[in-house]
Amino acid sequence: MSHLSNALAGVTLAAFCAVPALAEFQLGDRYTDNDGDLIADIPADAADQIDPSTLIFAYTPVEDPAVYADVWSEFLDHLSEVTGKDVQFFPVQSNAAQIEAMRAGRLHVAGFNTGSNPLAVACAGFRPFAMMAANDGSFGYEMEIITYPDSGITKIEDIKGGQMAFTSETSNSGFKAPSAILKAEFEMEAGRDFEPVFSGKHDNSILGVANKDYPAAAIANSVRHRMIQRDVVAEDQFEVLYTSQTFPTTGYGVAHNLTPELQDKVKEAFFSFEWEGTKLAEEYNRSDEEQFIEISFKDRWSVIRTIDEANGVSYNCQ
């Protein structure tokens, strides 16, 4: 795996983010979208398609990679069985590194977090097709702004003049959504009304509030719930100041240039996986996620693209 590690070295988020807002969502110049579904088409020329002997899988870098390598192990065995390929888990350390790996052709199957999905689709040719859901088909999580008891913060406006933790610029609940909500609903902006700090991951922000390192933080409540279930933190270490509408969760999909046959096999693996009794079920049942369901990026991520537009976000995919 040293080839992938080398490819990710030195990658920064600034390589992808640009500032002028786009009138509508657009793919990077290297991709086409002839069917209008807002995701990259599979290359028509077979010479431009790839059929790797080993599939590289990466889960969004939201929590401890070592924990999730084990959590996903049984699913990756199933993916290997269905596709006939060797499968390796790669624990990427940042959203930018994950996007660059797929853009460079060294990542084939992945779960990209809610906020980085549009960036991965536009700039890395990511084709999302699945999301976790409850058995009744319901899905999603909420962004929370949290503090700790006796912090002196009892309402959002009390954050003014202090510090607030975000995760990373590509995170929906960790940055994009709270930035838009704070501006629209409370007329508060980072840098003007409070000092923003970036923890890198949701669990870092949650632990930071629990340990009173951060007076307030914006996080995904699904991550907080799982950490409470694992006894990493306790419910009484937090007070919730704000809860958003429900957002889609991590989107799972493939690199656009895998052969159509291989893409179909990967999809088959997701939708045929038997959750009961697995480590995946043990982990994600904590947030009422019990199956993979089929999704449309065009439909399910429309609210996220709207948040990006409200924040003046567009993508430099050169």
Tokens at residue 160, please?
A: 């003014």
CATH superfamily placement of domain 141-247: Periplasmic binding protein-like II (3.40.190.10)
Closest CA to 92 of 83, 100, 104: 100
pTM listed for this prediction: 0.78
How is the chain split into domains, by residue range? 2-137+248-315, 141-247
Backbone conformation region of residue 125, classed left if phi is above 0, alpha if psi is from -120 to 50, else beta: left
**H or E element that contains 4:** helix 2-8
Tokens at residue 39, please?
A: 């995701």
Residue pair 246/114 in contact (Cβ under 8 Å)? The answer is no
Rounded Cα gap, residues 58 and 8, in angstroms: 13
Rounded Cα gap, residues 110 and 68, in angstroms: 13
Q: How many residues does the chain have?
A: 318
Per-residue pLDDT of the chain (318 residues), as tens digits, is: 333 333 223 233 333 333 333 337 889 999 999 999 999 999 999 999 999 999 999 998 866 777 889 999 999 999 999 999 999 999 888 888 999 999 999 999 999 999 899 999 999 999 999 999 999 999 989 999 999 999 999 999 999 999 999 999 888 999 999 999 999 899 999 999 999 999 999 999 999 999 999 999 999 999 999 999 999 999 999 999 999 988 999 999 999 999 999 999 999 999 999 999 999 999 999 888 999 999 999 999 988 888 888 888 777 676
3 CB burial (10 A radius; 0-12, 13-18, 19+): exposed
DSSP string, 150-179: TSS--SGGGGTTSEEEE--TT-IIIIIHHH
Topology alike, domains 2-137+248-315 and 141-247:
yes
Class of domain 2-137+248-315: alpha beta
Q: Do the strands 141-147 and 217-220 form a parallel or antiparallel pair, or are they unpaired? A: antiparallel
Rounded Cα gap, residues 201 and 286, in angstroms: 19
**Phi/psi of residue 237, nearest 5 degrees:** -85, 0
